[in-house]
Structure 1
């Protein structure tokens, strides 16, 4: 797989790890999650995800690194983060950052946003130009969300969080290089258990549709478009109307890629007053 396809696929998979975004609940909470990543049953990496949801603000940060046999081929580590306000019951992200380093190569991407539009974007190293790449226009940078803001599925109202219709979600994503849509659809409900959570999980199918910033002939992009067996298993954060992934399954030509939670610990979010006195 060439560098362009790998970066595009990596960005898509990063978004898939965290689901989609809907209107927000107002409960305050802190989620401290831990995940492992396997391919064909072989452990490739592990990571953490810390999310703070306040009355009028939010922040989220994920960190990960290769482990196990993956280190034999290439060591890597990365971080991604987003922060912003909560207005009218919805996330209003203002900053997004993504950094990854594998071997001697790296990618450093930063975005500033306002009103769902990209206002500033820096990417290092710059994307390699390709004559067949579908150009990202200014229109593609409006009415979008970044991948990390899509880290939480937020369910409006007072209905059942585990109802099948909760899976009916659609998100317009711009990751700094590629503009694509992610759509969820209900498949089934499973019972799961991990540190911090035991109960039902909504299993939703994931469908990927690229719009711009990609080369149509790339095999990785074609594979994701045609894939019909990707799924995310969503579970609620206690005391909120927010769902997060317990598991994400992405079939590949060499075995199933799985991201699975080993911890989903929830605690009250410290008040601003307590934070300033510490």
Structure 2
């Protein structure tokens, strides 16, 4: 696969899997079933599905995707990811995270357990080779972080409409099993979207700024490229019945054209409290 295509796909997955889970009052309940297309310079290169359940005291998220269209000719591959956790005093507290990435040449699985915002344990199978150029991840880097899947759920505090500038006043640390990095959001504007199936309404658009901290090779082009970008955007839409926003669209300029991840299906439903309590 060309390096520029790998950059577009990797950047999309990294940022898509890296939004902030924030503190809020008592949780409402809702669920999301979404499908996304990934395009590069207007050419379809991948598709994915995402399911999220938000209950009073717990949450779960699961995603799967793979190469399609022209990209599938060059690189057969796909991936799955999932995360579970608790909701404590209105805050998302991740507990477990698993991700598997497979291609025609290899397969890799990352497993992580967390408690109180700190990484308790993680493993990568098979064990990756040691790279002396990689900045080491210390114990301090694994404290006060979210896993990538939990971090896709952005919880807006307060009682006002969550779809507004306050949704973008966020910054957090993320550990994905290999790299520790920060993401910062800034409000840009409001837009209206209409998916092929499901949600039709407003979204809040945030700028994204990526800052690598540890676990990366400083000379890698993709890292330097992402850290220098000032024109990446994430469009956030609400999960009905909750104060949780999730990515609807992501755009990242690349050397081959704009990389975009966008929902084609975004079905979100509020869960009545009595129904939700029966399913726990």
Q: CA deviation at 1:20?
A: 2.1
5+ unaligned residues in a row in structure 1: which ranges?
Answer: none
| Aligned residue number for residue 43 of structure 1 | 44
For residues 9-34 of structure 1, give each alpha carbon's deviation from its aligned partner in whole angstroms, at most 9, with x where no partner exists: 83x53242153221245111111011
Question: Does structure 1 conserve the Cα–Cα contact (< 8 Å) formed by 2:99 and 2:109?
Answer: yes
Q: TM-score, normalised by structure 2?
A: 0.91
Q: CA deviation at 1:104?
A: 2.1
Question: Does structure 1 conserve the Cα–Cα contact (< 8 Å) formed by 2:242 and 2:270?
Answer: no
For residues 208-255 of structure 1, give each alpha carbon's deviation from its aligned partner in whole angstroms, at most 9, with x where no partner exists: 000000111111100011011111011112222111111000111111
| Aligned residue number for residue 144 of structure 2 | 143
Large movers: runs of 4+ above 4 Å: none
Q: Take 1:272 and 1:237, find their aligned partners in 2: how far apart are those partners?
A: 18
Q: Take 2:215 and 2:12, find their aligned partners in 1: how far apart are those partners?
A: 16
Q: Take 1:207 and 1:112, find their aligned partners in 2: how far apart are those partners?
A: 27
| Aligned residue number for residue 94 of structure 1 | 95
SS in 2 for 1:158: coil
| Aligned residue number for residue 276 of structure 2 | 271
For residues 158-184 of structure 1, give each alpha carbon's deviation from its aligned partner in whole angstroms, at most 9, with x where no partner exists: 113222232111110000000000000
Question: Does structure 2 conserve the Cα–Cα contact (< 8 Å) formed by 1:178 and 1:213?
Answer: yes
5+ unaligned residues in a row in structure 2: which ranges?
Answer: none
Q: 1:271 to 1:237 in 2, by over 3 A?
A: closer
Q: Does 1:203 align with 2:202?
A: no
Q: CA deviation at 1:63?
A: 0.6
Q: CA deviation at 1:127?
A: 2.8
Q: CA deviation at 1:272?
A: 4.6
Q: Does 1:132 align with 2:137?
A: no
For residues 123-168 of structure 1, give each alpha carbon's deviation from its aligned partner in whole angstroms, at most 9, with x where no partner exists: 0222322222110000001110000001111111111322223211
| Aligned residue number for residue 215 of structure 1 | 217
Q: Take 1:231 and 1:148, find their aligned partners in 2: how far apart are those partners?
A: 18
Q: Give the alignment of 1:70-81 within 5 angstroms.
A: 70-81=71-82
Q: Take 1:176 and 1:2, find their aligned partners in 2: how far apart are those partners?
A: 25
Q: Take 1:175 and 1:236, find their aligned partners in 2: how far apart are those partners?
A: 25
Query: What's the RMSD between the two structures over aligned residues?
Result: 1.9
| Aligned residue number for residue 32 of structure 2 | 31
| Aligned residue number for residue 16 of structure 2 | 17
Question: Does structure 2 conserve the Cα–Cα contact (< 8 Å) formed by 1:15 and 1:148?
Answer: no
Q: 1:2 to 1:262 in 2, by over 3 A?
A: closer
Question: Does structure 2 conserve the Cα–Cα contact (< 8 Å) formed by 1:107 and 1:123?
Answer: yes
Question: Does structure 2 conserve the Cα–Cα contact (< 8 Å) formed by 1:15 and 1:151?
Answer: no
Q: Take 1:16 and 1:221, find their aligned partners in 2: how far apart are those partners?
A: 12
Q: 1:176 to 1:2 in 2, by over 3 A?
A: farther
SS in 2 for 1:172: strand
Q: Give the alignment of 1:115-264 within 5 angstroms.
A: 115-194=116-195, 195-264=197-266
